[in-house]
């Protein structure tokens, strides 16, 4: 079978490798679509947040089809479409699928049913490949109890996580404003149903957000992890508002007036991943019918994975680049 392999840092290759087999407690999955994530670039650069070794096959945002079932497996059958969680508990250690163990950027792979979720027919393959990032955005909103039509949500950062966070809040009925300097991302935010967008390079971003929201967001979600975004999020929130910190900025220190948390009586929570919300997020997508397709700007075959990765590094040209494998 074909697989994308990071042989070593900064050395991706598409190669023919031995097809896998499964044991009695696993299912065999045929990859259908796999999204390329910012974390995949960190893995490629040798800078991921947990220890990793090479060679490794990336791919943690995926949808696939069950084609073989081990004799001890129940609840899954041949033909079921599934998605899988990223953080996996095994007897040996906690694994990150697609990082500390091989991921879905290959034609076939084995998986344990405990970390898989079946997709309903209403959620197609394209949307299925966005389930993993969507769960992160959904979790960021739900960390503060969710929102409704009475709320205004400000999302700082319009990459994939920012856009799926905006979509989750829109699906809950909230008014949503996205702050991002990239025109393509702002345009996609509007296609998703955002009320308006703010370009932080066009004047005073804090002033613009305060004007648009008439006093600040009920919930502000920081999804960029960039210095300017992190420095502004407390100012984007209204008094007694909530802030979810999603964007990753590890090892850097930036000047932030933490006293604003007390002065504005803010509720601030950090989020990582999407623990415990996958079934609810999948039901949410099924019942709301949210159209996430504008986020997926480009599609490539597995043979063209290296070109796909090259394009995905250009935020002014692409948002979510997806590999179509089967």
Is residue 31 located within the same domain as residue 73?
Answer: yes
Dist CA 15 CA 303 (whole Å): 9
Domain extent for 27: 2-130+292-324
Is residue 193 located within the same domain as residue 222?
Answer: yes
Is residue 71 located within the same domain as residue 151?
Answer: no
Dist CA 302 CA 322 (whole Å): 9
Is residue 23 located within the same domain as residue 119?
Answer: yes
Is the pLDDT assigned to residue 250 strictly greater than 80?
no
The CATH number of the domain holding residue 120 is 3.90.180.10
Dump strand ranges (E) for 75-151: 81-84, 87-89, 94-96, 108-111, 116-118
Is the pLDDT assigned to residue 136 strictly greater than 90?
yes
* Assigned domain for 10 exists: yes
Is residue 259 located within the same domain as residue 142?
Answer: yes
What average pLDDT score do residues 191-217 get? Answer: 97
Is residue 171 located within the same domain as residue 115?
Answer: no
Q: What does the pLDDT read at residue 49? A: 80
Dist CA 57 CA 46 (whole Å): 13
**Rounded alpha-carbon distances, angstroms, from residue 82 to 5, 60, 75, 113, 128:** 23, 13, 12, 10, 8
Q: How many domains does the chain have?
A: 2
Is residue 311 located within the same domain as residue 193?
Answer: no
Q: What does the pLDDT read at residue 214? A: 95
Q: Which residue has the tokens 């345009």?
A: 187
Q: What is the pLDDT of residues 255-304, one digit of tens each?
A: 889 999 999 999 999 998 899 999 999 999 999 999 999 999 999 999 99
Is residue 150 located within the same domain as residue 126?
Answer: no
Is the pLDDT assigned to residue 251 strictly greater than 80?
no
* Assigned domain for 218 exists: yes
The pLDDT-based confidence of 10 (bands split at 50, 70, 90) is very high
* Assigned domain for 284 exists: no
Q: What does the pLDDT read at residue 26? A: 97
Is residue 104 located within the same domain as residue 141?
Answer: no
Q: What does the pLDDT read at residue 146? A: 97
The number of beta carbons lying within 10 Å of the beta carbon of residue 288 is 14
Dump strand ranges (E) for the chain: 2-8, 11-16, 27-35, 61-69, 81-84, 87-89, 94-96, 108-111, 116-118, 152-156, 175-179, 196-198, 217-222, 237-245, 267-270, 296-301, 320-324
Is residue 191 located within the same domain as residue 223?
Answer: yes
Query: Whole-number mean pLDDT of the chain?
Result: 96
The pLDDT-based confidence of 90 (bands split at 50, 70, 90) is confident
**β-pairing, 175-179 with 196-198?**
parallel
Is residue 71 located within the same domain as residue 194?
Answer: no
């Amino acid at each position: 079978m074909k697989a994308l392999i990071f042989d070593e840092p900064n050395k991706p290759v598409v190669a023919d490798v031995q097809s896998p087999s499964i044991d009695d407690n696993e299912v065999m999955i045929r990859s259908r679509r796999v999204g390329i994530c910012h974390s995949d670039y960190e893995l490629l650069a040798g800078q991921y947040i947990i220890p990793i070794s090479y060679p490794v096959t990336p791919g943690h945002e995926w949808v696939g089809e069950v084609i073989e079932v081990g004799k001890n497996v129940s609840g899954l059958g041949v033909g079921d479409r599934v998605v899988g969680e990223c953080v996996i508990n095994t007897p040996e250690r906690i694994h990150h699928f697609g990082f500390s163990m091989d991921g879905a950027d290959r034609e076939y792979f084995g998986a344990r049913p405990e970390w898989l979720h079946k997709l309903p027919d209403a959620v197609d393959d394209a949307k299925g490949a966005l389930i993993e990032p969507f769960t992160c955005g959904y979790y960021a909103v739900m960390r503060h109890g969710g929102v409704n039509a009475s709320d205004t949500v400000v999302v700082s950062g319009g990459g994939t996580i920012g856009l799926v966070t905006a979509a989750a809040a829109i699906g809950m009925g909230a008014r949503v404003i996205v702050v991002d300097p990239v025109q393509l991302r702002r345009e996609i935010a509007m296609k998703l149903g955002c009320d308006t967008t703010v370009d932080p390079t066009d004047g005073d971003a804090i002033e613009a957000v305060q004007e648009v929201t008439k006093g600040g967001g009920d919930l502000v979600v920081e999804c960029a992890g960039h210095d300017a975004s992190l420095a502004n999020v407390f100012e984007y929130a209204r008094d007694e508002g909530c802030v979810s910190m999603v964007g990753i900025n590890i090892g850097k220190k930036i000047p932030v007036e933490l006293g604003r948390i007390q002065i504005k009586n803010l509720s601030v929570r950090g989020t990582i991943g999407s623990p415990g919300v996958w079934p609810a997020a999948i039901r949410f997508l099924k019942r709301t019918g949210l159209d996430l397709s504008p986020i997926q700007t480009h599609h490539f075959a597995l043979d063209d994975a290296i070109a796909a990765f090259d394009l995905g590094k250009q935020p002014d040209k692409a948002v979510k680049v997806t590999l179509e494998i089967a």
